Amino acid sequence: MKSEQEVWEYLRQIAGSGIVLGLESMRGLLAELGDIQDSLKVVHVAGTNGKGSVCAMVSSVLRQAGIRVGRYTSPAVFSKKEQYQADGEYITSQELTEVFTKVRQACGRMAAKGRRRPTVFEVETAAALLYFYRQKCQVVVLEAGMGGEGDATNVIAHPLVSVLTSISLDHMKFLGDDLVQIARAKAGIIKEGGRVVAVKPGQQEVCEVIEESCREKHASLTYSDARRACNIRQSAYRNEMRQHFTYPLRGFAEEGAYGKGNYHEISLSLAGEYQVENAVCAIETVNALRSCGFDISDEAVLTGLSKARWEGRFSVLCQKPLFIMDGAHNADAAKKLAKTLKRGFTNHKIIYIIGVLADKAHGEMLEIMLPLAWKVYTVTPSSPRAMDGQALAREAANYHACVSYCTTVAQAVDMAVSDARQGESLILAFGSLSYLGELREAVRNR
């Protein structure tokens, strides 16, 4: 491959291979590349919601500590290159072409041996690991795809820390029909003798799955518990919403895994009340890395959290009118998003723009979110998995009296902005990450 365009065309060609869980093909692919993953020091992050935010926060803290960090996240929202970052910089076109050429050649050698060709996610993950190896990253923050045990990222045999964010119902077609099965799939990233940081689950059965897995693997477990955060409040300045809270940076204020610590004032550029939970998880992950020997000061933690960016998660697109986009796409994320609205925006007329994927539990999400709305506009995301916006409007009408379908995202933006002139209003676009790039572009063009 000689150009970035050829890379994207190659990925489009192999995307039809679909989703295949299991590690045999991924191990074979990495063997062709010299098992470069065994030379990387990895923070492996799995879960249902919050993975990307935790990855962004941990990566930002490590950069502030002077540690060269690679970050791999999926799916891409605004640019495919955003999935491959070294020290906060997107992969260059030249590096992109070089690593994908090597991975494509490795896939060809596998096919010549009669092996199954890797899926597009396996190819993308192998390319990321090769890129971080070439970049000599000291730590790689690696986000799992939808799974855990059978996820392509789970080829990492000895991660520095295995992180589990909140676990809820999603991807049930692949991971299991109930919360226990999904938790077991996610907990598959826990390794023998490893360190585990997990967001404290609200369900006892999920706790039991995580704790049982840690016992079986002789792994240490630290729960991050956002209930220990206090003085949570929000602020707005120009086109940025921030929130603030206090929390001990070196362990709980009582005797705990890391001894005693003093509470610090923490400021986040990531708004949305659920980001406090993710920040606490990131802090406990940093503490686990400190126990691995990494020199990370409290100042690096505070500055890193303050500077962390993860666009598409309660991101402010403009202030007049207040226009926010959020990647909430399942019931658990909707509950957290609704909590944020109830906490800080009850004095606003709330206008929704919603686009969802057909394989998501959108009915429960609508039931949670729509009672808070003044008006609702539905759209069809640009994705082969998209739910038709007209069908979504009909379903949404079961929960709200003022629902309209828009043929384009740009039309929905125009309609919502026009409505927002009536009093103090908030426009909130959510439902799927797949259309947020188009939405952002429509707002900028307007």
Q: What are the structural domains of the chain? A: 4-307 (3.40.1190.10), 315-445 (3.90.190.20)
- Residue 100: HSE in the Cβ half-sphere, 13 Å Cα cutoff: 24
Q: Is 8 exposed, middle or buried (0-12, 13-18, 19+ CB in 10 A)?
A: middle
Q: List, in order, residues 6 or more apart from 126 with CB less than 8 Å away.
A: 26, 29, 30, 33, 103, 106, 118, 152
pTM of the model: 0.86
Q: For 340-368, how does the pLDDT look when each residue is reduced to its tens digit (9 = 90+)?
A: 888 778 889 999 999 998 877 788 899 99
DSSP 26-70: HHHHHHHTT-GGGG--EEEEE-SBSHHHHHHHHHHHHHHTT--EE
Whether the CB-CB separation of 133 and 62 falls below 8 Å is answered with: no
Q: List, in order, residues 6 or more apart from 394 with CB less than 8 Å away.
A: none
Q: For 136-149, how does the pLDDT look when each residue is reduced to its tens digit (9 = 90+)?
A: 999 999 999 877 88
Whether the CB-CB separation of 430 and 323 falls below 8 Å is answered with: no
pLDDT in 10s for each residue of the chain, 446 residues: 889 999 999 999 998 766 666 789 999 999 999 999 999 999 999 998 889 999 999 999 999 999 999 999 987 778 889 999 999 999 999 999 999 999 999 999 999 999 988 999 999 999 999 999 999 999 999 999 877 888 999 999 999 999 999 887 664 455 556 788 889 989 999 999 999 999 999 889 999 999 999 999 999 999 999 888 988 887 766 666 788 999 988 865 444 444 445 678 999 988 777 899 999 999 999 999 999 999 999 999 999 999 998 877 788 888 889 999 988 878 888 888 898 888 778 889 999 999 998 877 788 899 999 999 999 999 999 887 789 999 999 999 999 999 999 999 999 999 999 999 887 899 999 988 888 889 999 998 87
- Residue 183: HSE in the Cβ half-sphere, 13 Å Cα cutoff: 23
